[in-house]
């Protein structure tokens, strides 16, 4: 479980620090690949991609989801790959939750093409889910 805790802590810290930096210093868009990709400050009141769910129950829904993922991680993270994956998911989710608790919105800042603007926490969650899918594929291949 040490790996799960370490990855969760690193993902959470990277998420929160990057959001604080974006909130304080990202005043104007910074192009990275011209108009295609850049850093731009955005506030997301929704859960994912700006989608709001159940109004005032949104935060409660997020907390329940985090608890369920944590319980699933305790029960089923048997390999280093799955522990890393769950750590990324939990760290990212907690980073977004704490950010939302600060001011009611999640700070996003990575803009790529027409894809919704996202942040480090979102990236951690996405990579974690992809690693869990890879774990399932590898497990099926071993059978």
Q: How far, in Å, CA of 94 to CA of 141, rounded?
A: 32
pTM: 0.90
Q: How far, in Å, CA of 12 to CA of 101, rounded?
A: 14
Q: What does the pLDDT read at residue 62?
A: 81
Asked if residues 42 and 56 have their Cβ atoms less than 8 Å apart, the reply is no
Residue 48: Cβ within 10 Å count: 13
Structure confidence by residue, pLDDT tens digits, 12-69: 999 999 999 999 999 999 999 999 999 999 999 887 766 676 666 777 788 888 899 9
Active site residue 99: no
DSSP assignment of 64-82: HHHHHHHHHHHHH--SHHH
**Is the per-residue pLDDT at 1 higher than 70?**
no
Instruction: Using alpha carbons, select from 143, 4, 141 the residue that is nearest to residue 81.
Output: 4
Asked if residues 130 and 24 have their Cβ atoms less than 8 Å apart, the reply is no
Q: Of 23, 99, 103, 108, which is the active-site residue?
A: 108
pLDDT, mean over the chain: 90
Q: What does the pLDDT read at residue 95?
A: 95
Active site residue 108: yes
Q: What does the pLDDT read at residue 55?
A: 65
For the packed helices 2-25 and 120-142, what is the interaxial angle rounded to 10 degrees? Answer: 150
């Amino acid at each position: 479980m040490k790996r799960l805790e370490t990855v969760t802590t690193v993902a959470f810290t990277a998420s929160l620090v990057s959001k604080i930096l974006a909130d304080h210093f990202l005043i104007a868009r910074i192009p990275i690949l011209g108009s295609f990709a850049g850093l731009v400050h955005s506030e997301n009141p929704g859960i994912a991609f700006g989608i709001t769910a159940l109004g005032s129950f949104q935060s409660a829904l997020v907390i329940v989801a985090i608890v369920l993922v944590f319980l699933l991680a305790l029960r089923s993270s048997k390999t280093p790959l799955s522990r890393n994956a769950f750590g990324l998911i939990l760290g990212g989710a907690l980073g977004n939750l704490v950010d939302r608790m600060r001011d009611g919105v999640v700070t996003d800042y990575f803009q790529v093409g027409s894809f919704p603007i996202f942040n480090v926490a979102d990236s951690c969650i996405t990579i974690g889910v992809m690693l869990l899918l890879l774990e399932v594929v590898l497990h099926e291949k071993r059978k």
